[in-house]
Amino acid sequence: MDYFAVQKKNLRKTYLFITVFISMMAFLGLIIDGLFETFPIGTIVLLIIASIQVLVGTQSGASLVLNSVGAKPVNEKELEEKQLKNIVEEISIAAGLKTVPRVYVMEDENINAFATGFKEQDSAVCVTRGLLKNLNREETEGVVAHEVSHILNKDTLLMTTISAILGTMIFVQLFAWRSLRFMTFGYRGSRSSRKKDSGSGAYIIFALLVIALLATLFSFIGRLTFFAVSRSREYLADAKGVELTRNPLGLSGALRKIAKTQRVKGKVKGATSATAHLFISDPLKRNINNKEGFVADLFSTHPPIHKRIALLENVSPEVVLRELQQL
Q: What is the pLDDT of residues 266-313, one digit of tens each?
A: 799 888 877 888 999 999 988 888 887 777 777 788 999 999 999 999
CB atoms within 10 A of CB 22: 16
Cβ–Cβ < 8 Å for 212, 116? no
* Entry field: residues in the chain: 327
Residue 51 has pLDDT above 60, yes or no: yes
Are 13 and 137 members of one domain? no
Report the distance separating Cα 35 and Cα 24, nearest Å: 17
Are 238 and 210 members of one domain? no
Q: Judge whether 265 lies within some domain.
A: yes
Report the distance separating Cα 200 and Cα 144, nearest Å: 59
pLDDT score, position 248: 96
Are 189 and 144 members of one domain? no
Per-residue pLDDT reduced to its tens digit, 252-267? 999 999 999 887 877 9
Are 223 and 236 members of one domain? no
- Of the listed 139, 141, 147, 234, which one is catalytic? 147
How much helix, strand and coil, in percent to the nearest 5, is found in the chain? 70, 5, 25
Are 319 and 191 members of one domain? no
Amino acid at the residue 108: D
The residues pairing with 279 across neighbouring beta strands, listed in sequence order, are 114
More confident residue, 16 or 107: 107
Are 245 and 320 members of one domain? yes
Are 92 and 208 members of one domain? no
Q: Give the chain's mean pLDDT.
A: 88
Active site residue 147: yes
Q: 316 by DSSP, 3-state: which?
A: coil
Q: Which domain holds residue 216?
A: 3-62+161-229
Angle at 153 (CA atoms; ends 150, 154), nearest 5 degrees: 80
Instruction: Tell me which of 214, 229, 244 is where a domain ends.
Output: 229
Residue 139 has pLDDT above 80, yes or no: yes
Q: Judge whether 67 lies within some domain.
A: no
Are 172 and 240 members of one domain? no
Are 54 and 180 members of one domain? yes
Per-residue pLDDT reduced to its tens digit, 215-251? 999 888 888 877 777 777 899 899 999 999 999 999 9
Give the CATH number of the domain where residue 89 resides.
3.30.2010.10
Domain count across the chain: 2
Can you give the pTM of this predicted structure?
0.85
Report the distance separating Cα 90 and Cα 82, nearest Å: 12
Are 142 and 243 members of one domain? yes
Q: Judge whether 128 lies within some domain.
A: yes
Are 130 and 243 members of one domain? yes
